[in-house]
């Protein structure tokens, strides 16, 4: 299976460590893993640990340039599932995945990770991600 991990957070915390550990395990099981992130240290660590990572400029939520980038990447890599974390991931890569009919999994670490804003509620209603709460 071809799986994309997308993480737009700026700092390094437990989520990025979890992303890399999970991506490594999936790659060891024969899956192709593609990692996209904002932070250079995260991108470099992913490249070393799973073989692929690209630094992405996400821009504003619903940024058409970022959405187009992910549309092209997901098609080119034959991605079959997309794992996201924060709202920025959902509002760029999640939108691209939805347009391509790909399943989206949103990793939720804490109850406050999903903001109660209208935009977030509308994105969740349209994209309909599965929630992963480790």
Render pLDDT for 67-107 as a digit per residue (tens, 0 to 9). Answer: 999 999 999 999 999 999 988 999 999 999 999 999 999 99
End-to-end alpha carbon distance in the chain: 21
Domain containing 115 — which CATH number?
3.40.50.2000
pTM of the model: 0.94
Specify the number of domains making up the chain: 1
What does 13-26 look like in DSSP terms, one character per residue? -HHHHHHHHHHHHH
Compute the average pLDDT of residues 19-34: 97
pLDDT of residue 86: 85
Render pLDDT for 42-71 as a digit per residue (tens, 0 to 9). Answer: 999 999 999 999 999 999 999 999 999 999
Range of the domain at 42: 2-132
Residue 111 has pLDDT above 80, yes or no: no
Angle at 112 between CA 7 and CA 61, to 5 degrees: 45
Beta-sheet strands, E only, within the chain? 2-7, 32-37, 54-55, 81-84, 104-107, 130-132
pLDDT of residue 72: 99
Residue 8 has pLDDT above 90, yes or no: yes
CA distance readout (Å), 129 to 15, 70, 93:
18, 17, 12
Residue 4 has pLDDT above 80, yes or no: yes
């Amino acid at each position: 299976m071809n799986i994309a991990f997308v993480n737009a957070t700026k700092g390094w915390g437990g989520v990025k460590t979890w992303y890399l550990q999970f991506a490594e395990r999936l790659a060891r099981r024969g899956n192709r893993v593609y990692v996209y992130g904002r932070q250079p240290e995260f991108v470099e660590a992913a490249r070393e640990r799973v073989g692929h990572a690209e630094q992405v400029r996400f821009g504003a939520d619903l940024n058409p340039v970022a959405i187009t980038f992910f549309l092209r990447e997901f098609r080119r890599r034959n991605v079959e599932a997309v794992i996201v974390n924060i709202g920025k991931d959902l509002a760029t890569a999640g939108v691209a995945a939805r347009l391509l009919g790909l399943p989206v999994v949103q990793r939720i670490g804490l109850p406050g990770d999903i903001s109660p804003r209208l935009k977030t509620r509308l994105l969740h209603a349209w994209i309909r991600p599965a929630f992963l709460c480790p």
